[in-house]
Amino acid sequence: MSAEQRSRCMSRIQGSNTLPEIRLRKALHMIGLRYRLRSKLVGKPDIVFSPARTAVFIDGCFWHSCPEHLNIPKGNQEFWRLKLRRNVERDRAVDKQLRTEGWFVLRFWEHEIKSDVEKVAHRVFRVVTRRRLPS
């Protein structure tokens, strides 16, 4: 395994380059949006637009309990219910903290990106360009 392959493999394990994220980044790039990655902001947003103070999260349908795809594993249901509920509570706390700091928070489900990444990218575009206007 080459160093490059290993690093690609590691980043996949750490979840920093999941497929929906890459798809959205590509779509944003294509419509001319420039962004930052691996933010140190609270909650570690997936994509950040600093001048527009906009933070974008891509929420996995399972870990963040998407209402359409929530499917609690059969075994150990109590454990999973509690764990997944905590994730959602953490998401809401992160949103609140970022908003307090003046950030606009956009969250998308993994399935929204899979089904229509252009639509998601245009929603981001509208928010970012609006917020970049001088006040």
Among 35, 109, 121, 128, binds Zn ion (CB under 5 A): 109
By CB under 5 A, the residues from 1 to 30 that bind Zn ion are none
Contact region with Zn ion (CB under 5 A), list: 26-34, 41-49, 82-90, 104-112: 104-112
Nearer to Zn ion, 98 or 113 (CB): 113
Q: Report yes or no: 108 and 18 within 8 Å, Cβ to Cβ.
A: no
By CB under 5 A, the residues from 51 to 70 that bind Zn ion are 61, 66, 68-69
Q: Least distance from C-beta 1 to Zn ion, angstroms?
A: 33
DSSP conformation letters of 63-109: TTT-TTT----STTHHHHHHHHHHHHHHHHHHHHHHHHTT-EEEEEE
Q: Least distance from C-beta 9 to Zn ion, angstroms?
A: 26
| Tally of residues, the chain | 135
The distance in angstroms from the start CA to the end CA of the chain is 52
Which residues are at the interface with Zn ion (CB under 5 A)?
61, 66, 68-69, 109, 111
